[in-house]
């Protein structure tokens, strides 16, 4: 797959998620509005990543990848693990969330899976490196002693674009199905399968 094809697929996935989740959301508890706020932010970040890469601002796009994953991990923790009192505190802010690894572990335990812990294990270090201007962020900028500008390799960009699209689709499925929008979730199940 080429980078333009990956970007087109990510755009398509984003449009499908937006279309499928354009449903009447019912505020079922004090967590729902918070979850929808997180969801909206994740979609905006995904759109920004696509736009930044299309405009050859690859380093800035890579710096946003971790933000999408953080949103997904936090919102899943809020949805499945946080108490009603904790949700109220989060809405009022500030709130001291558990460390990311603990949240992900609690989510997996609640959902009887190891899926999110495995994703975090495989990607978190790389995401931090790009977000905090670590080695990977720096070496994607300049080549050799002459200081020639280089772009981050297409192969790496495709991987990150696909990972963000996949995690947003998966989170959309969880959010939709857990709020009674099974048809939207099933529609997005088919989209998720297209990434494997």
What is the pTM (predicted TM-score) of this model? 0.90
pLDDT tens per residue, range 118-148: 999 999 888 988 888 777 777 766 665 665 6
Does 27 score more than 90 pLDDT?
no
Domain ranges, residue 83: 3-21+29-193
Residue 26 pLDDT grade (very low, low, confident, very high; cuts 50, 70, 90):
confident
Q: What is the mean pLDDT of the chain?
A: 90
Pair 168, 42: CB distance under 8 Å: yes
Separation CA 184–CA 164 (nearest Å): 19
The residues near 60 (Cβ < 8 Å, ≥ 6 apart) are: 52
Domain count, the chain: 1
Q: Give residue 169's Cα distance to chain centre.
A: 9
% the chain with pLDDT above 90: 70
Mean pLDDT to the nearest integer, 92-113: 94
Q: What angle do CA 42, 65, 90 make, to 5 degrees?
A: 45
The reported pLDDT for the residue numbered 29 is: 87
Mean pLDDT to the nearest integer, 93-105: 94
pLDDT tens per residue, range 47-62: 999 999 999 999 899 9
Pair 64, 52: CB distance under 8 Å: yes
Does 149 score more than 70 pLDDT?
no
Residue 150 pLDDT grade (very low, low, confident, very high; cuts 50, 70, 90):
low
Q: What angle do CA 143, 155, 117 make, to 5 degrees?
A: 110
Q: Which residues pair with 61 in a beta bridge?
A: none
The reported pLDDT for the residue numbered 148 is: 61
Does 196 score more than 70 pLDDT?
no
């Amino acid at each position: 797959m080429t980078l333009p094809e990956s970007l087109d697929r990510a755009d398509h996935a984003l449009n499908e998620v937006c279309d499928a989740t354009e449903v009447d959301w019912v505020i079922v508890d004090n967590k729902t509005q918070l979850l929808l706020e997180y969801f909206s932010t994740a979609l905006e970040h995904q759109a920004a990543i696509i736009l930044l890469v299309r405009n050859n601002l690859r380093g800035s796009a890579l710096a946003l990848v971790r933000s999408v994953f953080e949103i997904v991990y936090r919102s899943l923790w809020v949805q499945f693990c946080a108490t009603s009192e904790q949700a109220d505190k989060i809405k009022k802010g500030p709130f001291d969330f558990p460390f990311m690894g603990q949240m992900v572990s609690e989510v997996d335990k609640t959902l009887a899976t190891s899926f999110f812990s495995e994703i975090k294990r495989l990607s978190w270090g790389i995401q931090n490196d790009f977000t905090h201007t670590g080695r990977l962020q720096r070496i994607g900028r300049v080549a050799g002693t002459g200081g020639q500008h280089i772009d981050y390799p297409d192969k790496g960009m495709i991987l990150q674009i696909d990972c963000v699209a996949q995690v947003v689709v998966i989170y959309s499925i969880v959010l939709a199905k857990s709020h009674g929008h099974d048809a939207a979730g099933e529609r997005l199940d088919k989209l998720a399968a297209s990434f494997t």
